[in-house]
Structure formats: C-alpha cells, structure tokens
C-alpha cells in the first residue's frame, strides 16, 4: 500500500481501515473505494482535509505566501 499524499510505502496500520504514513505524518482511512486524509492536531485529534489534492496543508501555506517554503 502507498500513501495517497506522498506515495511513500512506510505505512502503519492504526485501526480497521485506518492507516498512518510515517513519511508525511498524515492519517488516512479507506472505505468503499474512498480515501479520507487527516492531519493530526496538537491535541491528538484528527482534522480532515477538505480536498486532498487542492486545499491540503501545503497549498494553504502557499496561498498565504507565494514564496513560502513547505517542507
């Protein structure tokens, strides 16, 4: 299995249909051929991405500052 965000293969299983990518530090679920991607908040809660292709954390950082560097 590859990460839907970075394509990495360092995926850990968190629960039934729930996975964590150690490369880009996102959690995602797979249900009924649908993938939902989550960021981990500081308090440990999950925050779903509105649109995993456009609107993820990297795009939000760049929208505010076109010269921002996203690592």
Spatial separation of the C-alpha atoms in residues 27 and 37, rounded to whole Å: 6
Average of per-residue pLDDT values in the chain: 76
pLDDT tens-place string over residues 55-69? 444 444 444 444 433
Ranges assigned E (strand) in the chain: 11-15, 18-21, 26-31, 34-40, 46-48
| Cα angle for residues 44, 30, 46 (degrees, 5° grid) | 15
Domain positions in the chain are 11-64
CB atoms within 10 A of CB 53: 10
Place of tokens 């996102």: 26
Q: What pTM was computed for the model?
A: 0.64
């Amino acid at each position: 299995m590859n990460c839907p965000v970075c394509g990495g293969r360092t995926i850990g299983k968190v629960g039934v249909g729930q996975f964590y990518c150690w490369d880009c530090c996102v959690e995602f679920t797979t249900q009924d051929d649908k993938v939902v991607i989550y960021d981990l908040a500081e308090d440990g809660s999950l925050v779903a991405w509105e649109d995993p292709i456009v609107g993820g954390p990297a795009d939000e950082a760049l929208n505010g500052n076109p010269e921002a560097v996203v690592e």
